[in-house]
Each structure stands twice: as structure tokens, then as C-alpha cells.
Structure 1
Amino acid sequence: MKKVFLNELFERLLDLKNKMTLDVDQKNDNVSLQNMKYYLNLRKYDFSALQDDLTKVGLSSFGRSQAHMEASINVALEMLSLALKKELHPAKIHLSYEDSHAMMDKNSEIFSTSADKTKIMITVPSVYDTKWFHNLALEGVHLFRINTAHDSPKSWKMMAQEIKKASSEDTNLKIYVDLAGPKIRTTLKKSKKSGKPKKIKLFCGDKVLIHSATSSISTKEIKHCDAIIGCTLENIGSLVSVGDKVFIDDGKIELVIDEILNTDILCTLLTDNKEGSKFKDEKGVNFPNSNITIRAICDHDKKVLPHICEYADIIGISFAQTPDDIVDLIDELERLGKKGSISIVAKIETKKGVENLPAILEALIQYGNSGIMIARGDLAIEIGFENLAYMQEEILDLCTAAHMPVILATQVLENKMKTNIPSRAEISDVVFAHKAECVMLNKGDYEVETIKTLTTILKQMDLVFRKNKLLYNPSFQWK
């Protein structure tokens, strides 16, 4: 190898290190926060050509160095200085390779202290057999999720008691409780005969008036539309703009806003379904193009927190969009005397949550005892399905840089869970899920069979899996 090339590589690497440390407080004793800022700095620039050149001379390309950026670059500089017989006096590194991985392992213990690399979480159904928890724990489930968007405080407490019964000295099951958050949903009028909400069928081009469930509708507004759909979001008209898209029922129904009528919105149905689109009650509504600012910890959450703090090991913040949402929950936990003793997981499920992820991670790092959930259901709608694969990779890498454990959620082995027959695509999805510290399964009739399949794949991947080299290029989200 020519000395000129090695010398040039050495200089480029020094430049890389200078860019990495720019505007980062070197006296900050929080190594996770410092390392995350190093990583964010590096991702502002295109270093993919340097990565290739480092590989040519047998050095690390830093493609798997997110958790210990400074240590990896220092090692490469030392190797080059030895080859060039140059003197190098690097400052003492703040975080070694070994310490960073030990920190990642320690932080992931919020999900379980099990030796399994990837932990398994499953959602508790409203109706279950008393042996359900014990049987699933034997198959490899590490923690159980209670969803406060359904059932009651009495039901949640009974679930928690059953989980504790299924725990033993060998299997310390964790209880994860999801706060419902300000979920935006449809509200349809009930039929006078059945007392149940009516289902509305509409076709492409039909006009739909979406209004706040608490507001009144004028006769003029009714004349404009083919159907009226209620929505739990108040003052919708003041939060959106003409031309914004609206998605209902996990993205199955797409509309565009044509007109703002005071607090309501008039939309055109864009979904072209020959059999018509069915609007149902209690279905999620997404406004991915709109800048809707809602605090994640709503009044309902504040009411249930005293109940769930009695048994929760982890509390999930639904709809987390800003660091203020993290602070709001911390303040509530402090008020209840539970600050620090209960772990926090921020669910990333909106475009704003993605944009503010570095700041959200900073708030979580400062709290400690924290994690992130990639809630792929709403997130796919918010950022576009075609962008989900790229974005979940970016989120995982940034969380690794912050030493933040991650739960991958939504549709993991969903067909297997519902029909006992997995699709080929969802088997491959589990290979990706292996990168996360925890995988979440939803409810279904074939839990035991699904968990057996999941644990088999995860153990196989433990033997062969290595992350692909990450390319440091300008396509990065948080420039």
C-alpha cells in the first residue's frame, strides 16, 4: 500500500474526528448523550468514500460503530499512525468499545434480565385463561403489555396480578403499561334500532364532512356533503390546511381537505374501491401533512396513572412528539413518588416524533431507565409506507448511538398469530426485528405457536447475524 494513500487517509480521518467533536461539550460526563451528538455530527456529512478506503486497508469503516464513535475513530488513527511511524497523542477517550456494549446490555435490562438478546413482549387480551401468562412465559415471553386504551383499572390490576403469579425466581416477568394518549378516532352516530354505531359506505369522489364530536353542525354544512363523520379531535378546522391529506382506519381510507368550514373540514374521498369504503366507529384518524400539536399525556392518562403506578415496571407514552411529553410524564411520576423507579418508553408514531427524536432521546437519557418503541402502524401512515424501511433503520441506528434500547412493534408475525400460517415476508421481517432489543406481538389465536416460531428465528439469527455496514451519507434524517 502506497504511503501517500495512507497519509491522505490519516488526514481525512483527522478531519472526520474534528467534525465529529464540533460543538460537543467534552466535559459532559453523560457519555450516552455525548456519543449521540458525535453520531449526529458525523451524519451531517458524506463519508461513504472514506469508509470504502478504510475497508481497503483492513480498518473499520465505522458501519457498526454507532455505540462508540470516538473509540472506533481513535483506533483507526492509532493503526494508521503506527503504519506511517507518526507520533499521535490522542486525548483520553470518554467511552470504550467494551464499556459502550456493557452499557447497552445494562440499559436493555428494563425489558428483562434474561440472557436472550432480543426480548419478547405480547399484548394482554381482554379475555384470557388464568394459565395464559404462565404458558407464554414458558415459551419465552419476557414482558406483557397492558393497554389502557381498553378495559378498566380493575381489569388492568387483575392482569398485573396474573403476570406476577406467573413470575418466578427464574423468570422475572415485566409489566409494560401503555398510556392511551390523545388518540384521534372516528365517532359515528348510533342507530336508533340497534343502539350500535352505523357503518357508512362511500365511494371515490364523495364529499365527507369531518367535525369535532363535541361541536354542532349547521344546515349549510350538511348540504355540502354526502356523509358526516365525527372525530375526537377538537377544533379540527383551526389545525389543518386545504390540501392536507386525511387517513382513516390504519390508512385504508384516504381523503383530501377541500374546504375549512369554521371548526370542521370538508373532504373528498380519494380511495378508489369498487365495493366502497366503509367508515366505522372508533377507527384511528391520521393527519400526516398537518402540524397538529397535542400533548401526549392527556387528562385520561393523568387519571389512570395512580392506578397503574402500583404495578407497572414500564410506562409507554403514546403519541410522543416532543421532549416536553417526556417531561410531563416525569413530573407526574415525581408527584406520585415514582420518579426513577418506573421505566419510560416513548412511542415514535408520528412525523413530528421522528423529527424531534434527538431531543426526545436527550430527555430520556437524562431520566435514565428508558427506551423507545418504533410503532410502525401509525408511523407508516404518517411518513408514507414507502419510507418506513429506511426510517426504522435510521431510528435504530440513532438509538444505538444513544445507548437506548428499542422495541419494534406492529404486525410482527401477524398472519402467523391470526391464522397459524406465516407469510414469507413477515419471516424476513423478524430478521430485521432481531436488531431491536425487544419485539412486540399483538393479540391472536395462535400465541404459543407464534412465539415458538419467533424464538426459533431469533436464536438462529443470534448465531449468524451481523449488521450491514452503515453508509454515512447526506440522506440522513437529522442533518
Structure 2
Amino acid sequence: MQAQCEGTDQPSGRTAVEARLQELITEVDGLIDAVRAEESRVAAEISRVAPNHRDGAVNLVHYAELRQHDIRTVQGGLASIGATRLSTAEPAVLARLQAARNVLSAYNGEPLKYTDVEVRDAFALADDILEDHATELLGYSSEETHSRIMVTLPTEAGEDLDLVRGFVAAGMELARINCAHDGPEVWKRMIDHVHTAAAEYGRDIKVAMDLAGPKVRTGRIAPGPAVGRARVTRQDTGRVLTPAKIWLTPDDAPDISIPADLPGRPTLPLRVEREWLEALAPGDEISFHDNRDAKRKFVVTRQENGGVLAEGQRNAYITNSTLLESDYTKTRVSGVPPTEQRLRLQRGDTLLLTDDPAPATPAPGRTPRISCTLPEAVRAIEVGQRVLFDDGSIAGRAVEKRSDGEYTVVELRIDYAGPNGTNLAAYKGINLPETVLPLPSLTEEDIAAFRFVAEHGDIANISFIRDTDDVAFVLDTLEEIAAESADPERVRRLGIVLKIETIPAYENLCPVLLAGMRHPNLGIMIARGDLAVELGFDRMAEVPRLIAQMAEAAHVPVITATQVLESLAKSGLPTRAEITDAAYALRSEAVMLNKGPHITDAIRILHTLSTKLGRSQRKNRQMLRQIGSWMPEND
């Protein structure tokens, strides 16, 4: 063996290192050439962005090109000599590559290729540009935080100034109004309350307003029989915890609200003859046979505001033909609404989706059929494409498309539902992640709301963005509104936030951002809920991070949305996982909280998290502050 080895060329360790250095130099030079070439190729698109976005547009193009290459071996090689791994190159791609090249030059014993001017301060400048854009769009953040807290206002915020004061006191820094709900009068009162509360706390809080875009939903389902249920709640042992309750009001009077302090299952409202009702008193018994011919007895427990509450110890099914009896006098019930019917779907079932607006009529043994609120969507679906319902709780694939007279029918094979089936109700969302919809990004209702936002709000959040044509339509519409406005410059300064919530928007992210950067006051929102439905939950560990990185490269501020501290807002108790999720979301320039009875607590906790993390992280970079918990005790 020794003889075989003698005389062979075995490169020394030094020679191998030099060879690897030269390989790295060649690879890094190639990346620098590639990003510069891409900048030249799309120079026309870059030239159209607003002046304040010029640096960001160039860096965005560099970053998008960098991510077209698999540079993991380059990263490993750079790390092995203690150089940058390029893992946080987003703020200044070219400068980071040039810095890496200079390190390689130094190791290789050759003059530095790039000057100090080309490399120095590039990251700090990029951070300053992004912060300036975030401040212009979203307002100032706290001195100790990088992220702002956006709070979705409930309808009550239009009537209750103290509610809004509570949000501001807890840490709200941006207010959000969803234009899919309420209307201009309520929106205006909400905005006035935000401005009043902000002024009282010496703050300036901007108002963002969501434009819903075209909504594809299931159509009507024929109502079921008019049967109401009054139900008890029981312990596991069967003992009644809360009684069944009926709320009786006169049939010739306006609806009288059910008392809000009643525990247990919902109270069933019923209408009865006034004379019979007025003869009742607390302690009186009301007896009847319910719809199953079961005899039931309820006892009057309260009289309030013209209504009567009666409670029973058994469940009761009541219809508009039920006769109530008290003290040998009877009255017939009215006012029981029809039940809401649903389609029950299981894996393997067939569902017919149609543009026929006739209501669905559920029937055992019949293939379920349901319409769509946007006929164009049904006509656009092609065989093989995915169709998802109700936030992805039901999903299927088109297996056939046919005409049924003047209507189109798409036959779907359901391949995803709950283990025991899932109910599909009327007016639930439909997602078509693989279908090209021939619809504009703004409906006529959206454009009317857009005009309101341009006059009264600070930011318009734009839904249903798919490509550069959608962005151009939004910006052209904004310019039309400006041309008709008494204050056109205010309109042109309006913040525009593009919601990234569809597969096309994600796949076209770089050109979408470049198109949006023609507007000087731009941001994006990562709408994680819709993205999860369209992409699948398995992609959500990666996709929001990739979107945020692309936006950081463009120096465009990001709002992270959907289900941040949702359990806390709804139940008053956070989960461990959502605290971690909130911490990650706070890497964005703003985090959106949705509505809930405990939203003020959620604002307060998110503000605390933001303050703590503001000293420890900047986007994806860890800031190595001193950790007091690890300090040795003083002697």
C-alpha cells in the first residue's frame, strides 16, 4: 500500500484550502454578476417606482434573483471561515455579497475587491429606509418596540367611546375597520372615537380600512321546518345545571330583547297573545305538548320590559302550532323562525356546484347541489382543479363540468372533511386556489368604500390581489378618486396595503411588489388565514417567513394578520403556542388583532411582549442585549 502511495500527487492541506477559497470566490462573483444582470434586465420596471422606493426596488430585484439560486454550499463554505452566511442578506443583498467577497479576498491574500464606500453602512441605511416607510404608513411605534399593534374595531366601537379609550390605554397603535360590515355612518363614528381617544392620550393613531374584494360564497339553502328548541344543560351524571328557557313577548309589539344575563343554552323567543301574556305572574305554570308530543311544564320566573321568562327542567321542541296553557286558558305560539339547513358532506361524497341561483334543497338519498354567489367563478372552474369551502373545512376536486340547460354544473368529489362528516351552510366562503377568476380586484361596493377611505381614513387594505394587473387597477382607481377629490394630494398620500392571501399573489410576489412600489406609501399584509386555506397548513411554517423576507428586501413594511392571540381574545386565556406565534409576528412592522370579548387583555399582553422583544430582535436578526438573568450575583 505504501508503495502504491509513493509518487502520487497528494495536495497539501494548504493547497486544498486555497482551492476551496478559489471555488468560493468564483461562486460569490457569479452571484454578484447574476444580481447585477437581473437589475439591468428589469431596469424599465425599476424606473417606474416612486423615488422613495428606488433603493428598495433595486434590492428587491437582487434578492429575488439570489433566491433563484441554491447557495447552501456557499453558505457552508463562508461559515467555515467565519464569514457571513448570507442568511440575513435581505436589507442589502449586493453589499452583503460584496462584504463576503472581501473576506474571501483577505483570506486569499489579495487586495479587497470592493471599496469601503460600497459596503459600509448598507444595512443601517436599509433599516432607516424601512423604518421611514413604516412610520409614514403606520405611524410612530413606541421607542422600545419595532412593531405596532393594529386592533380590529367591533361594531360597538361606533357607539362606545369608552371601549375605544380602553383599547388606546392598553396599547392600540393602529385601528382597523372591516368594510364588509356596518356602513359609512358607523365607520365615521368609529373614526371619530379613535381620534378623540388618541388625542386624549396625546397620540396619533391611524385608521386602516379593509376593502373586501369579490367574495365567492355558497348560495342559499332552503329553510327547514319552523321548530325551536329550549334546552337544559346537564352534568355528566344527568343532573340539570341550567334550565331550558323560553322568552314570551306580545305578538302585536316590536321584538323585546332577551335579558343578557341568562346562563346556559340560548333562550328560545316566542310570541303569544298579549291578553294571555299579561295574565301571567311569577310562579305560574305553563304546560304544553311539544312537537314530539312530550308533555312539558315551564314556570314563570321573571317579568321584564314587557316580556316574560319561563324555565323548565326538560328539553322542549316548539313550533308555531304549539298550544301553551296556563290557568285553563290557552294561546298558540307564533314567531318561531325556520331552522337553518345545512348539507352534510363526507369524504367520497359528490357535490354539485352550480351557477343556478335556486336554493339548495337537502334531501336524503339525493346528490347535494348548491349554488355560488358569483356565477363567473363556477364557469371558470376546470376539471381537476381544487375547490375548498368554509375556510378549507371541506375540500374537493372537480371531476366533471357540464351544462344543465342555461346553467353550468361542476361535479366535485369530496376528498377532505371531518372524520364523521362536516356541515356546509349557506353563504360560506369558497376558495379556488387553482382557478383563474375573471374578476376585478375591486367590486363596485369596494370602490364606493374606497372613496370613503380616501376621504376619512389613512390606509386602504386591499383584498384579492393576484397579479400586477390587480395592483394597477387599484392604483388607477385611486388616481380617479384623487382627480375628483377636493383634496387630491391627501388621496394620493393614502396608505395602500396589499393583502397577500392568494396563491397567485404569493407566486407573483416580486412583480406585485414592484407594481405596488409605484405608490409611495405602500405596505403588505400577510393574511395567514386565507393563505393557509389556499396553500395548505403544511406550507404555513415557511410561506409567511418567505413573504416577510421579500418585503424586507423591498424595504416595504409588513402587517402580520390572522389569529394572533385569538384564544386569549376570545376566551381570556392564551395558549403557549400562540404566545410563541405572537413573538414571531412581532418581527413585522405591525401585528393585527381581531375582535373578541377579551381583546383589551390581548392588546395589553401583546404590548408587553412587543416591549420585551423590541430590545432583543430586529426583523430576523437577534440583538444581543445583556441578559440580567444570567449575570453572576454580586459578592
* TM-score normalised by length of structure 2: 0.68
* Structure-2 separation of matches of 1:79 and 1:13: 11
Structure 2 counterparts to residues 164-313 of structure 1, below 5 A: 164-168=195-199, 170-189=202-221, 191=223, 198-204=340-346, 205-212=348-355, 215=357, 225-262=366-403, 263-273=408-418, 276-313=421-458
2:186 to 155, 161, 182: 155
2:146 to 101, 104, 117: 117
The answer (yes or no) to whether the contact 1:250–1:378 under 8 Å persists in 2 is yes
CA offsets 1:169-189 (integer angstroms, 9 cap, x no match): 732101000001001112224
Tell me which residue corresponds to 1:47: 71
Partner secondary structure for residue 188 of structure 1: coil
Q: Which amino acid aligns with 1:436?
A: S
Structure 2 counterparts to residues 319-398 of structure 1, below 5 A: 319-337=464-482, 338=488, 339-398=491-550
* Structure-1 separation of matches of 2:411 and 2:437: 18
- CA change 1:253–1:117 in 2 (3 A) is same
* Structure-1 separation of matches of 2:148 and 2:380: 39
* Structure-1 separation of matches of 2:153 and 2:574: 21
The answer (yes or no) to whether the contact 1:21–1:38 under 8 Å persists in 2 is yes
My pick for the range that moved more, 204-213 or 176-185, is 204-213
- CA change 1:81–1:375 in 2 (3 A) is same
My pick for the range that moved more, 268-277 or 341-350, is 268-277
By how many angstroms is 1:225 displaced?
Answer: 4.9
CA RMSD of aligned residues (A): 2.8
- CA change 1:235–1:329 in 2 (3 A) is closer
- CA change 1:23–1:464 in 2 (3 A) is closer
* Structure-2 separation of matches of 1:41 and 1:236: 34
By how many angstroms is 1:289 displaced?
Answer: 2.7
Tell me which residue corresponds to 1:70: 94
- CA change 1:216–1:35 in 2 (3 A) is same
The answer (yes or no) to whether the contact 1:188–1:198 under 8 Å persists in 2 is no
- CA change 1:6–1:282 in 2 (3 A) is same
Partner secondary structure for residue 186 of structure 1: coil
Partner secondary structure for residue 183 of structure 1: coil
By how many angstroms is 1:199 displaced?
Answer: 2.4
- CA change 1:74–1:243 in 2 (3 A) is closer
* Structure-1 separation of matches of 2:60 and 2:25: 24
By how many angstroms is 1:89 displaced?
Answer: 5.0
* Structure-1 separation of matches of 2:188 and 2:567: 30
- CA change 1:467–1:303 in 2 (3 A) is closer
- CA change 1:189–1:457 in 2 (3 A) is same
CA offsets 1:163-215 (integer angstroms, 9 cap, x no match): 111122732101000001001112224538566683214132443222236x4
The answer (yes or no) to whether the contact 1:63–1:468 under 8 Å persists in 2 is no
My pick for the range that moved more, 290-299 or 39-48, is 290-299
Q: Which amino acid aligns with 1:245?
A: R
The answer (yes or no) to whether the contact 1:68–1:100 under 8 Å persists in 2 is yes
Q: How many pairs were matched up?
A: 467
Is 1:452 the counterpart of 2:604? The answer is yes
Q: Which amino acid aligns with 1:328?
A: F
2:124 to 98, 101, 111: 98
Partner secondary structure for residue 538 of structure 2: helix
User: Higher strand proportion, which one?
Assistant: 2
By how many angstroms is 1:101 displaced?
Answer: 0.8
The answer (yes or no) to whether the contact 1:236–1:264 under 8 Å persists in 2 is no
Partner secondary structure for residue 121 of structure 1: strand
* Structure-1 separation of matches of 2:343 and 2:107: 73
- CA change 1:442–1:186 in 2 (3 A) is same
By how many angstroms is 1:250 displaced?
Answer: 0.9
Is 1:86 the counterpart of 2:101? The answer is no
* Structure-1 separation of matches of 2:587 and 2:497: 17
Is 1:401 the counterpart of 2:433? The answer is no
* Structure-1 separation of matches of 2:375 and 2:417: 28
Tell me which residue corresponds to 1:477: none
* Structure-2 separation of matches of 1:137 and 1:330: 32
Partner secondary structure for residue 375 of structure 2: coil
1:429 to 581, 603, 613: 581
Q: Which amino acid aligns with 2:437?
A: I
Partner secondary structure for residue 540 of structure 2: helix
By how many angstroms is 1:217 displaced?
Answer: 9.1
* Structure 1 spans left out of the alignment, 5+ residues: 470-479
Is 1:33 the counterpart of 2:57? The answer is yes
* Structure-1 separation of matches of 2:419 and 2:131: 52
By how many angstroms is 1:10 displaced?
Answer: 3.0
* Structure-1 separation of matches of 2:214 and 2:338: 24
Could you tell me the percent identity over the aligned residues?
A: 30
By how many angstroms is 1:276 displaced?
Answer: 3.8
* Structure-2 separation of matches of 1:340 and 1:422: 41
By how many angstroms is 1:155 displaced?
Answer: 1.2
CA offsets 1:217-240 (integer angstroms, 9 cap, x no match): 999xx9995333221121344211
By how many angstroms is 1:396 displaced?
Answer: 0.9
By how many angstroms is 1:280 displaced?
Answer: 1.7
The answer (yes or no) to whether the contact 1:209–1:225 under 8 Å persists in 2 is no
1:144 to 175, 180, 190: 175
My pick for the range that moved more, 438-447 or 106-115, is 106-115
My pick for the range that moved more, 252-261 or 179-188, is 252-261
CA offsets 1:95-152 (integer angstroms, 9 cap, x no match): 8222111001111111121233111111111123221222111211111111111111
By how many angstroms is 1:267 displaced?
Answer: 2.4
CA offsets 1:60-116 (integer angstroms, 9 cap, x no match): 122112110111122232333344442345476498222111001111111121233
Partner secondary structure for residue 395 of structure 2: strand
Q: Which amino acid aligns with 1:184?
A: V
Is 1:107 the counterpart of 2:133? The answer is yes
Partner secondary structure for residue 63 of structure 1: coil
By how many angstroms is 1:22 displaced?
Answer: 1.7
* Structure 2 spans left out of the alignment, 5+ residues: 1-12, 227-335, 483-487, 622-635
- CA change 1:197–1:296 in 2 (3 A) is farther
Partner secondary structure for residue 340 of structure 2: coil
* Structure-2 separation of matches of 1:270 and 1:84: 59
* Structure-1 separation of matches of 2:534 and 2:25: 43
* Structure-1 separation of matches of 2:107 and 2:437: 56
* Structure-2 separation of matches of 1:317 and 1:467: 24
My pick for the range that moved more, 37-46 or 279-288, is 279-288
* Structure-2 separation of matches of 1:217 and 1:167: 47
Q: Which amino acid aligns with 1:327?
A: A
By how many angstroms is 1:447 displaced?
Answer: 1.0
Partner secondary structure for residue 162 of structure 1: helix
- CA change 1:144–1:357 in 2 (3 A) is same
My pick for the range that moved more, 90-99 or 183-192, is 90-99
* Structure-2 separation of matches of 1:357 and 1:13: 25
* Structure-2 separation of matches of 1:84 and 1:274: 62
By how many angstroms is 1:38 displaced?
Answer: 0.7
By how many angstroms is 1:381 displaced?
Answer: 1.1
